[in-house]
Structure 1
Amino acid sequence: MIDENKIFSNLEYIEAMNQHGASPNLDEYWNEIVNMLSEDLKKTKEFFNKCTEHQIWYMAGYFEDISYNFKSDEFIKILEELEKKYPNIDIKQDIQWAKDAIEE
């Protein structure tokens, strides 16, 4: 199950820590987000479609890990749709890494 509030809360915490120059171990927050977004492809797509442009940009670093878990071309299509939906953010490299993760 995707707990949207938990994901958004984790993202806000990670972003706040990064903005203030803190470098705490954020693996717990990262893994929680990746695990939730790796459970159900349809629900992940629905979640991404609810996100703002900034949230998608900020989560782009998670694409590779999620893609590795799904190992699905459908997930790549979802990312490519997001890239078209939000042309002002550069997530091309993140999508390439997600593609590469399928091949690992």
Structure 2
Amino acid sequence: MINYERAMEILKNRIEMAEKWPDMDAPDEWWEEMPKILSRNQKETEKFLEERTSKELFFLGEIFEDIAYEFKTDSFIQFLWNLHKKHPKAELEEDIKRAEEAI
């Protein structure tokens, strides 16, 4: 089961850092912990992603490749493309292409 509370905490920290310090790299928890949280259960991850705003998805796109690598399913990639259609402002196209290559 996804720890939604922790996932939202990490996501909010990532967005806040990017807004305050745009030249600073994302924290380790973003690159290490967040993909693990979102790679546990595909259906729960998809539900979590569906509930996010375009702004949140813009940042989450950075880790789509890591998540897709763990799931290794075409259905997850198709889900991401559908998400991209719903949130074109999130600019997910390149992130999804990297996720496709990861599987």
Q: Find the aligned partners of 1:89 and 1:49 in 2 and give their Cα distance.
A: 13
**Cα RMSD (Å) of the superposition?**
1.7
Q: Which runs of 4+ in 1 moved over 6 A?
A: none
Report sequence identity in percent. Answer: 33
The CA deviation string for residues 52-86 of structure 1, in whole angstroms up to 9 with x for no partner, is 11111110001001011111111101101101111
Output the TM-score relative to the length of structure 1.
0.87
The Cα shift of 1:13 comes to 1.1
| Count of residues paired in the alignment | 102
Query: Is the Cα–Cα contact under 8 Å of residues 15 and 56 in structure 2 kept in the other structure?
Result: no
Give structure 2 stretches of 5+ with no counterpart.
none
What's 1:43 paired with? 44
Output the TM-score relative to the length of structure 2.
0.88
Which amino acid letter does the alignment assign opposite residue 31 of structure 1?
E
What's 2:66 paired with? 65
Go from structure 1 to structure 2 and tell me whether the alpha carbon gap of 1:47 and 1:25 turns closer, same or farther (over 3 Å shift).
Answer: closer
Please tell me whether residue 76 in structure 1 is matched to residue 77 in structure 2: yes
The Cα shift of 1:3 comes to 1.4
SS at match of 1:88: helix
What's 2:20 paired with? 20
What's 1:53 paired with? 54
Please tell me whether residue 11 in structure 1 is matched to residue 28 in structure 2: no
